[in-house]
Structures are given as C-alpha cells and as structure tokens.
Amino acid sequence: MSGPKSKLWVMAVVIPLMAVLICFIFCFGWNRRHKKGNWSLKDTLKVNVHQDEELELGIEESNSVFTFFNFSQILEATKNFSVENKLGQGGLGPVYKGQFPDGLEIAVKRLASHSGQGYSEFKNEVRLIAKLQHRNLVRLLGCCTQGEEKMLVYEYLPNKSLDFFIFDETRRTLLGWNKRLMIIEGTAQGLLYLHKHSRLRIIHRDVKASNILLDSEMNPKISDFGLAKMFSSNDTEGNTKRVVGTYGYMAPEYASEGLYSIKSDVFSFGVLILEIITGKRNSGFHQHGDFLNLLGYAWQLWCEGTWLELVDASLVADSHQTLEMMRCINIALLSVQENAADRPTMSDVVAMLSSTSMVLPEPKHPAYFHVRMAKEEALASAEPCSANDVTISRPQGR
C-alpha cells in the first residue's frame, strides 16, 4: 500500500509545482516582452486582426525596432482621434497627428473598418517598409490592431505632402526653384534605393505628389507602400489583372495591360517632375490649348522650342536656373516616353540630374500625347517631332 500512496503523494505535490513553474516562466516572459512595448524586427510579428486569424509578418534581418502599439496608447496620443488632430483623408482612411508622453510626434493612418483592400495594403506596407531605411523614405514606427481597427504609425512630417504646396496657387510660391529641384533629386534618390540598392527590388506603383511627404526642411520622403511589389534582384517586371494606382500617373503598359516594372515607376516620376515645374496636375489638365493632359502640352512646347512657357510663373529664374529647368523638362519627357524600353532607369535619371555636363538624348513622344479636346469619334493627333504617329486611346483606371 505504501508504494501506491507514495506515488499518489508525489503526483499530488510535483504536478502542481510543475504547473506553477510553467505559469511563472510564461508570465515572466510575457510581462518582460510587453513592458518594453516593442518587438524586435528579428522576431516574426504576429498581430491578431480578426478573431480567428493571425497576420504573420516575416520581419527579419534588420536592426531597427518595430513597435506594436496598444490601442489605448494611440487613443491617448491622438486625443481620441479628435477632429483637431486630423491631418487629412486618404483613400483608405483618415490620418491623424499624435504625440506620445515622451514628446515623440507621430502620424497615424487609421484604415477604414471592413475594408478588404485596406487589410491587404496594411499587410503589404508593414512587410515592405519595415525592411527599408533611407533618408528619402518615410519611416514606419509600428502598427496597432484591435478587432477591426488597423493602424499604421509613422514619423510625423510637419509640412504635409507635396500636393498641398504644388497645386495651391498661394502655397506653391513658397517653393522656389532650388527647393523644387531638391524635391526632384531627393525623390529620385529614394526611387533609386527602392529599385536598386535595397535588399529586394521594390516597385512602388503609386508614385504621385500626394505620396511625397515633406519634413521640416522640405526634404522629400516617399510614402504609402500599400500597392508596392517586391521582387528578387533577377526579376524586372510583373503582371496583374487588378490595375491599381492613380489616373494620370500610370504608365500606358500598366494601365492597358497590367504590366508593371521599374520603368512604370520611372514614368510616374516623369509626370511628377512636370507637375513640380508647372504647378499643374497632369490628370484633367485642359488649361492650355486643347490638350487634356500635361504630357501632350509639354511635348508640343518642347517640339516648338517654347518649353519655358511650361515653367510656373511664380518662379523667378536666372540663366543658370533656366538651364536646370530645361534639363529637368528633358529628363521628364525621357521618363514619360510611350515605349517603356526607351525610358531611362532611375540610375540614369540620378546621373542626369547630378551632372550638368552630360549630354541628354532627345525624347521620343510621350504616352497619351494624342489625347485632345475633340469628338469621341476622331481624336486629333498632335504635331509630332518625330515620324511616330500612333493613336492611343485614353485609358480608364480599373
């Protein structure tokens, strides 16, 4: 009898002790981890987004710190998402300014609830931007999820986005030529990093004025990687049936066939240069002549040798700046050429921007340059500088 009793006694004592020890180890580890308020990027981040599923984000090989913020921290920082703290409204939800108790200022993108697209882009942005570090890319500090709430937390940039300045008649006078050239060059450096110098080749797919944020010194930072695609260093292009992006910035091969590559980003960048120089939007442009877009108008003036008419009237230029403006327009037109193979790479663009002695090639006609104010049955063709005479239908964003 003593044998069974002894075994029962051991089981009665040892098993509870083991359970207590295991609970202690688990609780100690959990408490230590969450007291820090962040997770190392070397760990795999698992965020509960829905009750029955987990979002697994493989974030490794980085020395940065990615923070998983509590919902209560974000509420306090943004003053319960007050109207006074709202910075703007994006396609996937509002953006709020916030400030943590230690003084750190943040921008919180609050994705709209029950948005399948928002959920997909949330995952994509965390996966991609956590791997990227460059002075011309916006810094993602962390994220926050609770139930249907999904939020991305960025560094706060006080001067908002480029479109806030460049398309406003009064505010764009604050951007002299040197500032505009700095924004063009900085954005080019950021795209070059994405295309060539980051660990993986990244195609942004939504380069536009509203996605270029400006810091306190007006340095540009590329933002919004929700639509970005990541490739190995050997891949150069991809194809999709779901064309997403912004009308006016989409390369023709992407808008019509779903083909995207580093050259489609170059096209968007070329459009952006023209918008920065003119202070006018490409999409819906119809203020000069009968052109519906800025590309056609720019091409016409370039062919006529009257390109200086493109330059924003608020810019006062000396002869040196005029030369820089002409080179930038030339680079922009090279970047928006209809055939992707004719466009330069971002390496080429950066080299052309940094050297005033480099001889630039003459551009061929841009995409969409035939689109004019005309009857639907007969779009008039622009007077070409070259022998090319291709009719292009106006693409519709899908």
The answer to whether the CB of 311 falls within 8 A of the CB of 278 is yes
Q: Looking at the DSSP assignment, which residues form a beta bridge with residue 366?
A: 337
Where in the sequence numbering do the catalytic residues fall? 206
The answer to whether the CB of 276 falls within 8 A of the CB of 162 is yes
Q: Could you tell me the CA-to-CA distances from 83 to 78, 91, 95, 120 in Å, in that order? A: 10, 18, 11, 27
- Phi-psi region at 290: left, alpha or beta (left = phi > 0; alpha = psi -120 to 50): alpha
For residue 169, give both structure tokens: 């008649």
State the amino acid at position 176 in one-letter form.
Answer: G
Helix (H) or strand (E) segment spanning residue 127: helix 116-129
The answer to whether the CB of 398 falls within 8 A of the CB of 259 is no
DSSP string over 180-194:
HHHHHHHHHHHHHII
Instruction: Specify the pairing of strand 65-68 against strand 140-146.
Output: parallel
DSSP assignment, residue 156?
Answer: -
3-state helix, strand, coil in the chain (%, to 5): 40, 20, 40
236 phi, psi to nearest 5 deg:
-125, -15
